[in-house]
């Protein structure tokens, strides 16, 4: 199963990516998490030190030259089958790949870096049987066919605010226009029942997550979102999200 996570900046999409990955690994699943955001926050959210986070693939000019070429002659179908294991960092039982932004990939861009990013993402989600979760660039500007064409479902994250929900609706609409109709809305930092305003185009509300005091207490000292105390609230939300996007596939339990 291959998922992408999107939302306005600051709504918690990277945290949710980590929570979904952690849930799946506790269920015994092999999980690849892909950081496709220029902010590059996924590694720290997995508890990795700056030294342990790989150089973003999109900035690895020597590898790009070797696999794709340059000087106006580039391969749009480079060999990438060996790259996941070479480029990954391990975070507990999870595999992390740091790609950087996939902005422009698939949208007619002839950039060598984006060609390699697109090919590796396609290899991960088309040719491997593991779970893949892609943490996308914040906002709507960078959502393109090269991002969504390979994934099975889109998790759209918002906070309980009109700005967050408006951005969520824009992301959802653009993804639908690109053919990705299997979507789930997750409301983060929602205390109790939250009545949504009438915002046209929102995907169905699938799960809510409350404020997580254990996460808030540590964030001034640590970027990690792992091993939170509120597992009893997090696990049902993760299972609901995965179940809504799995199209009848059985969802594992810890």
Sign of CA dihedral 206, 223, 57, 170: positive
Going from N- to C-terminal start, the domains of the chain cover 2-245
Instruction: Answer whether residue 106 shows pLDDT above 60.
Output: no
Among 171, 170, 211, residue whose Cα is nearest residue 187: 211
CATH class of 2-245: alpha beta
Question: CA 71, CA 145: separation in Å to the nearest integer?
Answer: 26
Instruction: Answer whether residue 31 shows pLDDT above 90.
Output: yes
- Give me the DSSP letters along 22-82: HHHHHTT--EEEEEESTT--HHHHTT--GGGSPPPGGG-HHHHHHHTEETTEE-SS---TT
Instruction: Answer whether residue 39 shows pLDDT above 90.
Output: no
| pLDDT value for 241 | 96
Residue 157 parent element (H or E):
strand 153-158
CB-based contact 187:194 (threshold 8 Å):
yes
| pLDDT value for 111 | 61
């Amino acid at each position: 199963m291959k998922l992408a996570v999107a939302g306005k900046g600051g709504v918690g999409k990277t945290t949710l990516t980590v929570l979904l990955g952690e849930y799946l690994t506790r269920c015994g699943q092999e999980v690849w998490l892909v950081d496709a955001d220029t902010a590059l926050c996924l590694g720290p959210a997995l508890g990795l030190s700056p030294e342990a986070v790989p150089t973003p693939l999109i900035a690895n000019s020597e590898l790009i030259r070797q696999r794709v070429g340059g000087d106006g002659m580039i391969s749009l179908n480079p060999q990438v089958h060996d790259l996941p294991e070479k480029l990954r960092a391990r975070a507990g039982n999870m595999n992390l790949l740091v790609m950087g932004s996939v902005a422009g990939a698939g949208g007619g861009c002839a950039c060598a870096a984006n060609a390699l990013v697109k090919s590796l993402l396609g290899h991960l989600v088309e040719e491997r049987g593991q779970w893949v979760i892609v943490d996308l660039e914040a906002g709507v500007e960078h959502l393109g066919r090269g991002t969504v064409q390979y994934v099975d479902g889109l998790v759209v994250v918002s906070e309980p605010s009109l700005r967050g929900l408006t951005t969520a609706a824009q992301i959802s609409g653009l993804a639908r226009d690109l053919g990705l109709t299997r979507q789930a809305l997750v409301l983060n930092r929602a205390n109790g029942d939250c009545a949504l305003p009438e915002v046209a185009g929102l995907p169905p509300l699938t799960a809510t997550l409350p404020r997580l005091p254990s996460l808030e207490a540590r964030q001034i000292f640590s970027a990690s979102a792992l091993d939170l105390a509120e597992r009893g609230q997090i696990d049902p939300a993760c299972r609901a999200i995965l179940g809504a996007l799995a199209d009848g596939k059985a969802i594992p339990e810890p």
